[in-house]
Amino acid sequence: MSDKLSITAMVCVTLVALVLGVVGIFAILAYLKDKASLKLKTKAKTLVNNEVAIDIEDTQKK
């Protein structure tokens, strides 16, 4: 039982780190550009079914 728990914890931590990494990279890109768009869809069998969409547009003209 503890083996399954360890594997599940590793998978969850890996997925969270991946999503946070992608969001961090996107935040840097959005800071450097006027308009950016990212769509990320994650599906790992029946465990995880996440979809993230982030749109940023600079409405202020320089």
> Which has the closest alpha carbon to 34: 12, 9, 56, 6?
56
What phi and psi values does residue 14 have, to the nearest 5 degrees? -65, -45
Q: How many structural domains is the chain composed of?
A: 1
Q: Which domain holds residue 20?
A: 2-57
62 lies in some domain: no
- List, for residues 35-48, the tens digit of each pLDDT value: 666 666 665 655 55
pTM over 0.75: no
pLDDT in tens, 26-36: 778 777 766 66
Domain presence at residue 25: yes
Q: Answer whether residue 8 shows pLDDT above 80.
A: yes
Mean pLDDT within 5-30: 85
